[in-house]
Chain A
Amino acid sequence: MARVAAVTGNEAVAEALRQINPDVCAAYPITPQTELMQRFSSFVANGKVDTEIILVESEHSAMSACVGAAAAGGRVATATCGPGLALMWEMLYVASGMRLPIVMAVVNRSLSAPLNIHGDHSDAMGARDSGWIQLWSENAQEAYDNTIQAFRIAEHLDIRLPVMVCMDGFIISHSIARIDYLEDDPVKNFVADYKSVYPLLDLDNPKSFGPLILTDKYHEYKRAQHEVMTRVKDVVLTVASDFEKMSGRKYELFETYRLDDAEIGIVILNSAAGTAKDVVDSFRERGVKAGLLKPRLFRPFPYEEYAQALQRLKAVAVLDRSDSFGGYGPVFMEICSALYPLAQRPAAVNKIYGLGGRDFLPQHAAEVFAELEEIARTGRVKTTKEYIGVKE
């Protein structure tokens, strides 16, 4: 039985964490993530959860405390955004390298300078090589559902890796939307009790975490880490299937929208995908075969599945809400890598949009689809990478 509520994205993720009741949560407040942890802290203060909250002096310390608590054997969650995630950078690699299944909500925010608190994907894209699994969420419902699934994925015995659950700062984190909550018991049964494989606090079996590994074995440890990542997509699909049985809501590696017979398509992450889907509909009404792909699992990146989904397109535009200055946008780079092995592949262009919370409007998606129509007709790409919605 679902409970329908009108909540912010932050509130929805805090509610998921309340239902999951992690052992330890170490966090540091940063806009726009602050409300999430403030709400979860209220659950702790009011005795709604048994979680031990560790207040720290920075995000570097927050992730350090999470690493220690997870190595000790606890189920651990945290949340951050933007510069906070950037400050965690060193410890992100420690968490994944130690195979600690920490779950972290990332409320996507831009990076300084200039200082900006609004939503873009620069933070999580900067952490894409850190060995964390990344799940991206279009709205509060997906952020809530992904958070619940993230614990099962992170703690799966084939994996044991940390997971980031990403949602757009302010656009989702602070906007109130309708959400279907699950009841507490089904969620608790779904995530089940957590049992650490090598808990440090198992004093009868002493062990050490974090050894120095030099030229003789470091290369091998990284090879093993890569291998674990190759198992993630199957686990993500298995967990999604179980989640669908419980909730009736279907999740895959990515979402396709009217893509099956499409000739032109947009690849776009998170909240802007919702806007772009409306524009797909309006182009369809005009008889244009437009479609959309919204990535969900960005790390590890399931290249073959993406290639299969996009291979029939004549032209594809990949929209990035972050830039790799001097390079192409990060999603575009992945999509091109996925398409390259195909003998026949769509023409591809990269559009940078919405940095620092700049609105992504239906007209922006419409302009991109109009350009794709032209490219599909002529086969000619004028500019590979271009900023859109920018004041000239």
Chain B
Amino acid sequence: MKPEGWRDLTPGAVILDAGNAREVKTGTWRTVDKPVFKEEHCSNCMLCWLFCPDMAVIVKDGKMVGFDYEYCKGCGICAFECPGKKGQKAIFMEEEKK
């Protein structure tokens, strides 16, 4: 449970629950573009997973399977880094219709 008032805070703002960045849904920061995944052009090199500054790339059984948009700020690094296959990128940025 998140602390509410000043009496509930930890001394010196120390964070005791490791990995609590999961609670911050950075996907709400996304404004214009979102990454789109084309599986047929993916070689599962994992560069998108490696470069993603948050945890938006979903990997199952060693394979890239798509994005968790709750953690995607739309920075476009994954699309930039994606080497794709035969000159076709597996990730490209697309304007988001809201």
Name A residues whose Cβ lies closer than 8 Å to a Cβ of B.
97-100, 160, 197-198, 205-211, 213, 217, 220-221, 223-224, 227-228
Contact = CB atoms under 8 A, between A and B. Distances in A.
Contact of A210 (B6, B9, B11, B13): B13
B18 interface: yes
Interface of B: 5-7, 9-16, 18
A97 B6 contact: no
Contact of B9 (A98, A206, A208, A217): A217
Contacts of B9: 217, 220-221, 224
B29 to A, nearest CB: 13
A207 B11 contact: no
Given A220-B5, A223-B6, A208 B15 contact: yes
B6 A221 contact: yes
B16 A198 contact: yes
B15 A99 contact: no
Contacts of B12: 97-100, 160, 198, 209
Contacts of B7: 224
Contacts of A100: 12
Given A100-B12, A224-B7, A224-B11, 16 more contacts: A97-B12, A99-B11, A99-B12, A160-B11, A160-B12, A197-B11, A198-B10, A198-B11, A205-B16, A207-B14, A207-B18, A209-B14, A209-B15, A220-B5, A220-B9, A221-B6
B13 A213 contact: yes
A100 B10 CA distance: 13
The A interface is mostly helix, strand or loop, or mixed, namely: loop
Most chain A C-beta atoms within 10 Å of own C-beta, residue among B7, B9, B13, B15: B13
A195 B15 CA distance: 19
A64 to B, nearest CB: 16
Contacts of A217: 9
22 contacts: A97-B12, A98-B12, A98-B14, A100-B12, A160-B12, A198-B14, A206-B18, A207-B14, A207-B16, A209-B14, A210-B13, A211-B13, A217-B9, A220-B5, A220-B9, A221-B6, A221-B9, A221-B13, A223-B6, A224-B6, A224-B7, A224-B11
Contact of B6 (A98, A206, A211, A220): A220
A209 B18 CA distance: 11
A107 B18 CA distance: 41
B22 to A, nearest CB: 14
Contacts of A99: 11-12
A217 B6 CA distance: 8
Contacts of B14: 98, 198, 207-209
Nearest to A157: B11
B15 A211 contact: yes
Nearest to A99: B12
Q: What are the 3 tightest A-B residue pairs by CB atom distance, in nearest-first order?
A: A99-B12, A220-B6, A98-B12
Most chain B C-beta atoms within 10 Å of own C-beta, residue among A97, A211, A213: A211
Nearest to A224: B6
